[in-house]
Amino acid sequence: MNKNITVLIADDDFDYLFQMRFRLESAGFDVISASSQKEAEQLIEIGGFDAAVFDLMMENDDSGFVLAYKTKKAFPSIPVVLSTAVTAETGYNFENDSSWVKADLYLEKGVESERIAEELNKLLKM
């Protein structure tokens, strides 16, 4: 179903990164992963992915915002998902300020793997 669809995932939490990679590969996606903002920026420069899922806070509090911006600048049609626990921790919802944030969707960390695949498929119009 998702053959030849490649998703770039960036998260500095190794366990979460491993789980996301496993879940998306199980759903039929190909996955490229990065464990830091710097590594993800290098992969963005190379390209070759169809969608991206970025953690909001990695080595910098705004890592996900920066990665979303760089992805959209280089590849405007590629869907970008920010995965974050910030809303649960702070109560602040970035969807309310979506005009300046270059992401197509926000998902709370811990969301079911089926939902992640469904949302990516919607964004990719599959």
d(CA 116, CA 75): 21
pLDDT tens profile 93-120: 555 455 556 788 888 777 666 788 888 9
pLDDT tens profile 52-67: 999 888 888 888 889 9
Domains of the chain from N-terminus onward: 6-123 (3.40.50.2300)
Confidence class of residue 49 from pLDDT cuts 50, 70 and 90?
very high
Rg of the chain over CA atoms, in angstroms?
13
| One-letter amino acid of 124 | L
Query: pTM surpassing 0.95?
Result: no
* Helix-helix angle 63-74:37-46, to 10 degrees: 0
